[in-house]
Structure 1
Amino acid sequence: MNKVLWTFLLVINLGCKDTKQQADQKLTRTPRSPEFKESIDRGAGLYNNFCASCHLSGGEGIKGVFPPLNQSDWLANKQKEAIRAIKFGLRGPIKVNGEKYDNLMPALGLSDREVADVMNYINNSWENNNEDQVTEEEVAAIEK
């Protein structure tokens, strides 16, 4: 039991790094419109509150348990599925960077705007660089 508690505390501690600073560093690499920058900034806070405890602050995930978001082939190639996963949750196996993941991701109860903000943050953080802004309207069009 003590080992599980320490593992949990380690994951929480690693997940609480300053994601806003990471977003600012990424934004300096590629020019963005003011609206896009604002969305990424809002997404950083949401990511820290809702996502970092599992996917960690650097988006590296936990191998075999929580998939990475940094340099994720699944995220890069399946944007609509990623939006759907954030909006409605995800159940069932997926393959990310050659590794199988079959864990439950619950629906987070985020608004369409918040889902777009989180996607924009994830798509433009760490080593990810997706110049296409996810919009609230795009998220609203995604159905379960």
Structure 2
Amino acid sequence: MKLKLISGILLLIIVFAVSCQSDKQVEFNRYYSGGSAIYQAHCENCHGAKGEGLQALIPPLTDSIYLKNNKASLSCYIKKGLKGKIIIHEREFEGEMPVDDLAPIEIAKVLTYVTNSFGNKMGTIDLQRVQADLEKCR
């Protein structure tokens, strides 16, 4: 009887703790988990399971400074691809990232995942931000 009572109380505490998440945290979790699946399907093959890239061919996604400095361009890189030289971790990469026909919400989710994984902590990149950034793409 005591075990059932303790189990019930623990269950209530867990349910209460989960239900206390803010709307902002719930939104982040939704974007992040969706972004993980999109990353696995569209990005992991080149950038690696841990965002490590591929030696001198494909840049890593572990450079928070590069990601922060280019935050407004990241949506464009995914939607329109990326050509030319970039420098990450003081290493030069020159090649081409192919165009990916993801919807803006998918771009927001995968960017939230990437910018909060592999040592990065940049918060939610939401749909409105991606749409505004995509309007500025050249």
More helix by percentage:
2
Alignment-derived partner of residue 134 in structure 1: 125
TM-score for both structures, normalised by structure 2: 0.76
Gaps of 5+ in 2: 1-21
Conserved 8 A contact 2:64-2:115 = no
Q: Does 1:40 align with 2:13?
A: no
Alignment-derived partner of residue 50 in structure 2: 58
Identity, % of aligned positions: 30
TM-score for both structures, normalised by structure 1: 0.73
C-alpha distance in 1 between matches for 2:102 and 2:85 = 23
Gaps of 5+ in 1: 1-30
Larger Rg belongs to: 2
Which residues in structure 2 correspond to 1:90-105 (within 5 Å)?
A: 90-105=82-97
User: Cα RMSD (Å) of the superposition?
Assistant: 1.5
Secondary structure of residue in 1 paired with 2:87: strand
Question: Which stretches of structure 1, 4 residues or longer, exceed 3 Å deviation after superposition?
Answer: none
Conserved 8 A contact 1:86-1:115 = yes
Secondary structure of residue in 1 paired with 2:82: coil
Conserved 8 A contact 1:55-1:66 = yes
